[in-house]
Chains A and B, each alone.
Chain A
């Protein structure tokens, strides 16, 4: 087993299923303190589910998740909420509060958790919004934002409490190349300057390669491959090669499990 002081998060022999669908079978992941760890995998493998397990919005069927060597399954609600304050999470779709302005969305955790004076809150919020390039949108409502803008606001909100661990679920989707570059650098810079640990779910192989220290490729409920970007590029595994180079044919099927195509088109599966 790896050195626990070095790993901020450890996932051990994790099983999780939704109904009959087995999502994880014996998953093991180590996330090193201060690293940017990327999680990749085909759509629907359970990356979002993994993030929800790590933050204990979902409870695993079997196995343990340790954060700072504490099994999060043993925490009561109060301790869990205290732990969650250390997380900043960027949801896949932003999850901004629809009846608050952009400014109030970013200010929300501060207003709920602190008694800071308004002047200070204003200062902090505007700084974070500036970092994602949306200081000018402070008075807009979430409904008026584009998808990419909403995600950047959500990023500002995830950072506002100065978390130890930042979790990004698909932060690069729907960003133009310029914002993408800015956000990639922002992820890296925050990680290094503030000593944050970052977990990054993404499909963008190039961006991941440029920003991550360690990458996990998840497939079929297990870690299919892991290592630094260069290690992954150089592995011989068919699966890794397929994923890294975006080929339709290979060990990972492009199709969700389905009846035989020809049979179904000819309607034979209905007759029976």
Chain B
């Protein structure tokens, strides 16, 4: 059993190292692709963004609504229902916006990326590119990675804004909190640092979610089954990594 554990651990370290190397290769190719093949990157931002936009808007609205309900129910115990806006804003900007967006992104755009790349590998499209002297890392992987990295903060912003709108809908329109108090208090308590924290998280999660999707697709076993497994792993690993990193970033910034 110890031997098994040891082997698993060794395998983990090896994968981890390979992934870091892969990450460095993506990064080192990113600037030139960003400049020379900007149209490819834009296309991938559009792909990743458009895929996830609708679910992110729907989820944002309902998460905001729930924050409105919960905030109102609990804060009214302290006669502080005016603070529901602040409560929703803090939750959305610092935590729920980046985290839920990243999870939804992994489930929608991440799986699509992983299966697309995995399928390209399984059907020899990546080898065919290599044979045409076109580096698939630069032509296929880097634009998709960059697309995800750029799309994520945008999606987080959309999620947060719509979430605030949902909280406003429930708190102000439905439950009768004063609209002036709702926005005024939010504005006076929210600091730039809180927003930075949200931005940092959305960038880090964007990198992690895109990296896992691209990595899993590229390293998928080139069969139908292997591609299926890669998409599942993308969601699971991204979710775990996002939640762990969320804890770490929060701990550092408090």
Contacts and interface: CB of A to CB of B under 8 A. Distances in A.
Interface of A: 52, 55, 57, 81-82, 84-85, 87, 89, 91-93, 95-98, 108-109, 112-113, 157, 161
**9 closest cross-chain pairs (CB), A and B:** A95-B124, A95-B128, A84-B133, A89-B131, A85-B133, A81-B133, A109-B132, A112-B134, A91-B124
B132 A161 contact: yes
Contacts of A93: 123-124
Nearest to B126: A95
Contacts of B120: 97-98
B134 A89 contact: no
Interface in B114-154: 119-120, 123-125, 127-128, 130-135, 139
A161 B134 CA distance: 13
A55 B133 CA distance: 10
Interface residues of B, number: 14
Given A98-B119, A98-B120, A112-B139, A57 B127 contact: yes
Contact of B130 (A82, A84, A92, A97): A84
Contacts, number: 52
Contacts of B135: 81
6 contacts: A57-B131, A81-B133, A95-B124, A95-B125, A95-B128, A113-B133
A87 B125 contact: no
A108 B120 CA distance: 15
A91 B127 contact: yes
Contact of B128 (A82, A85, A91, A113): A91
A84 B130 CA distance: 8
A95 B132 contact: no
Contacts of A157: 132
A112 B130 CA distance: 12
Nearest to B116: A99
A112 B132 CA distance: 9
B131 A84 contact: yes
Contacts of B131: 55, 57, 84, 87, 89, 91
A200 to B, nearest CB: 16
